[in-house]
Structure 1
Amino acid sequence: MALNLSLLKSICAAPGVSGYERRIRNLIHEEVKGLADEVQIDNMGNLIAIRRGKGNKRVMVAAHMDEIGFIVNHVDEKGFVRFLPLGGFDPKTLTAQRVLIHGRRDVLGVMGSKPIHIMKAEERAKVVPLNEYFIDTGLPKEEVDKLISVGDPITRERDMVELGDCVTSKSLDNRISVFILIETLRRLQGQDLPYDLYAVFTVQEEVGLRGAMGSASHIDPDFGFGLDVTIAYDVPGSTPQEAVSNLGEGTAIKVLDGSVISDYRMVNYLKELAKSEEIKYQLELLPAGGTDTAAVQRYGTKGAVAGALSIPLRNMHQSTEVVHQGDVAATIDLLVAAVSKLDGYDWSFAKDHGDGQHPDRVAGDLDWLG
C-alpha cells in the first residue's frame, strides 16, 4: 500500500502545540468533512468525526493532534526570546535547532546557548538545562516587540523527507497517527460498520491526556482504541528487552504502558485479527509514559473495552523522528479490520481468551456485551 506522503508532509508541517491546535485542526477538518456522517468540535477543541453504524454501541478511536513545543515567557532587552516547554523535551537535542514563533506572523528563530569554547570543563560534561536556552530571531528588539508577545506558541522547523523505507520529520509523534486515522476513515468509505465510530483527534495529550478525558466522558464508548507512537530503541547500544518495538516489524499491539493495561480481550482480538488478515504485528510493553488509551478506557460512565495500536518511532521527543512506512501501512490495515469486525467476536469474560485464567463465568459479567 503506497502512502499519501504529500498529505503526511502537510500534517507534520501544520503547527499545533498543546493548547494551540487551531491550524492543525483546520487541516484535519478539511480532510475528514467528506469522510464522516457528522463532524463536531467540542468545547476543548477536540475534533470528532462520526460514522454511523448499525448497532447501538459506540467505538472511539483517539489520535492526539497536538505536538510538543514551547511558549514565549520573556523577551529580553536585546530581543532574545526565552520560553517554557509545552510537553516533554530532551534538552540535549535543542542546540542550534530552528524553530518558528507563531506571533503576529510566523517568525523563524534559532535556539542558542553558551558556546562550548567558553564553557568551563564541568559545564562541558553536562547537558545544558532548558532554562539556559534562548531563541535568536536575527531581528532588532523593536521589530521583535512588534511581532512576538509573551504567550505566543513555538514549534520546531523541520521538513518531512523520505529516508530509505522510512520517513523522518518533526512531530511524527503524533501526526503519524492523525494521518493513519484520516486514511482509515477514507478506507471505510462505503462500508457498513457494526457500531457508531467516533474518530477523535484530541488536544493536549502531551500535557496530560486532557482532551481525551473530556471527549471520552461525553462519548461514553463501549470499545476504545488509542492510536499513538511507541519507542523503537532498536539501534546500536540497545538490548532486546529495552527495544520496546522494532522498526519494520509491523504495527505494535499495546499490552501495557505506564498509564494503562490494555483489556486482554482486546489484545487477543487484535492478535487473532492480525494473524487471520496476514498483517505484520508485534507486541508493545512500554514501562513508562502514557497515551490517550488510558483516558478512553476510564472516562466513560461504565469504562470501555480498550486497547491500542502503536507505531514504532525512533528519536521520540527529539528534533526529528523516524517511522517505517511498512509499519504505518500495517497499522491502517489492522485498524480498518478492527473497527469493521467488532460484532463478530465473543467479548464475554466467559470465553477462554488464552489469558491463562480460568474461564468460569463471573457474576455480573458484562451483560451489555451480550
Structure 2
Amino acid sequence: MSIELLKELSETPGIPGREENIRKIVQRELKGVVDKMTVDNLGNLIAYRKGTSKKPKKVMYSSHMDEIGFIVQHIDDKGFLILDPCGGHDPRNTIVQRVKVLGKKELLGVVSWKCKPIHVQSDEDRKKSPSLDKIYVDLGLGVKEVKKLVEIGDPVVIHRDLEQYGNRVTGKALDNRTAVYTLIQALKKSKKNKDDVYAVFSVQEEVGLRGALVA
C-alpha cells in the first residue's frame, strides 16, 4: 500500500466541478500504464486499456474524484464567510472543523455557527442542532483583508491531514479517494486484461452523479 499516494489524494482539494487537481494526480500515476487517457467535456477522466481477446467485451470501472465541500456565498460586514454547501453535509459534523479557503491564496479558517455561548444557553437551546444556513467561517482577518483575498464562489474544503492508526487511516475525502486510489493500483498491477477496460474517474458525484451519468 502506498500511503503517500493515498495521503496526496485525500489532502488535495476537489469539490464538485473543481476536480482538476485530483485529475492531474491520476494522469500522472497512469502515464504509461494504460493505452490512452481522455478528458470529456464535463471533466471525467477516462483511462482505456485494450483487451487481449479477439472479441473483447467492454468493461467499465468507475470512482468519483470529487468531495463534499462549500463555496463562498457571501462575506458579511465582520469578514465572516457565509457558505453554500456542495454535496450532502451533516452540520453537526461541520461545526469547529478547520477549513481551507481556496481564494487568491490558501487561507485557513474555523467553522462556527450563530448561537449563544454554551454557558448561557437554556436546556431548550442545547437541544437544538446547528443548521447549514447558520454556519460561517472565521478567518481571523478583518473584512477589508478578507475581501482582498476571497471572492464569491471560491471553494472551501475541510482541512485535515491523513493519519495512520495501525492498519487503518483517518482523513477527509476518503469518500471516494479510497476508490480512486484502489482503481489506480488495480490498473498498475494488472498488466494485461482480456476485455477492453475503461476506468472512469468521474466528476460531480456529490451533487447528483453528473459525471457518471454521461460517462
TM-score by length of 1: 0.56
Identify the residue that residue 41 of structure 2 maps to in structure 1. 43
Say whether 1:12 aligns with 2:4: no
* Bigger relative contact order, structure 1 or 2 (CA pairs below 8 A, ≥6 apart): 2
Q: Letter of the 2:39 partner, please give it.
A: I
Identify the residue that residue 148 of structure 1 maps to in structure 2. 150
Identify the residue that residue 180 of structure 1 maps to in structure 2. 182
Say whether 1:207 aligns with 2:207: yes
Q: How does 1:66-105 map to 2 (within 5 A)?
A: 66-105=66-105
- What is the distance in 1 between the residues matched to 2:199 and 2:100? 29
CA shift, 1:146, in A, is 1.1
- What is the distance in 2 between the residues matched to 1:151 and 1:120? 36
Q: Secondary structure at the residue paired with 1:61?
A: strand
CA shift, 1:201, in A, is 0.4
Q: Secondary structure at the residue paired with 1:84?
A: strand
The sequence identity of aligned pairs, in percent, is: 46
CA shift, 1:118, in A, is 3.4
Identify the residue that residue 168 of structure 2 maps to in structure 1. 166
Q: Secondary structure at the residue paired with 1:162?
A: strand
Q: Any gaps of 5 or more consecutive residues in structure 1?
A: 216-370
Q: How does 1:104-115 map to 2 (within 5 A)?
A: 104-113=104-113, 114=115, 115=117
Q: Letter of the 1:135 partner, please give it.
A: V
Identify the residue that residue 120 of structure 2 maps to in structure 1. 118
CA shift, 1:164, in A, is 2.3
CA shift, 1:120, in A, is 3.5
User: Residues 81-109 of structure 1, C-alpha deviation per residue, up to 9 Å, x if partnerless?
Assistant: 00011111111111211001111111111
User: Residues 15-56 of structure 1, C-alpha deviation per residue, up to 9 Å, x if partnerless?
Assistant: 101111111111111111221100100000000111111333
Counterpart of 1:53 (choices 51, 57, 61) is: 51
- What is the distance in 2 between the residues matched to 1:95 and 1:176? 25
Between structure 1 and structure 2, the one with the greater Rg is 1
Q: Letter of the 2:2 partner, please give it.
A: N
Q: Secondary structure at the residue paired with 2:78?
A: coil
User: Residues 294-326 of structure 1, C-alpha deviation per residue, up to 9 Å, x if partnerless?
Assistant: xxxxxxxxxxxxxxxxxxxxxxxxxxxxxxxxx
Provide runs of 4+ in structure 1 moved above 4 Å: none
TM-score by length of 2: 0.95
Q: Secondary structure at the residue paired with 1:43?
A: coil
Q: Secondary structure at the residue paired with 1:89?
A: coil
User: Residues 239-291 of structure 1, C-alpha deviation per residue, up to 9 Å, x if partnerless?
Assistant: xxxxxxxxxxxxxxxxxxxxxxxxxxxxxxxxxxxxxxxxxxxxxxxxxxxxx
Q: Secondary structure at the residue paired with 1:200?
A: strand
- What is the distance in 2 between the residues matched to 1:14 and 1:214? 25
CA shift, 1:117, in A, is 2.5
- What is the distance in 2 between the residues matched to 1:91 and 1:84? 12
- What is the distance in 1 between the residues matched to 2:64 and 2:158? 18
- What is the distance in 2 between the residues matched to 1:176 and 1:203? 15
| Count of matched residue pairs | 211
- What is the distance in 1 between the residues matched to 2:201 and 2:118? 42
Q: Any gaps of 5 or more consecutive residues in structure 2?
A: none
User: Residues 48-84 of structure 1, C-alpha deviation per residue, up to 9 Å, x if partnerless?
Assistant: 1111113332111000000011111000011100001
Q: Secondary structure at the residue paired with 1:71?
A: strand
CA shift, 1:121, in A, is 2.7
Q: Secondary structure at the residue paired with 1:151?
A: coil
CA shift, 1:206, in A, is 0.8
Q: Secondary structure at the residue paired with 1:194?
A: coil
Q: Letter of the 2:84 partner, please give it.
A: L
User: Residues 326-357 of structure 1, C-alpha deviation per residue, up to 9 Å, x if partnerless?
Assistant: xxxxxxxxxxxxxxxxxxxxxxxxxxxxxxxx
Counterpart of 1:133 (choices 123, 135, 150) is: 135
Q: Secondary structure at the residue paired with 1:39?
A: strand
CA RMSD of the aligned region, Å?
1.1
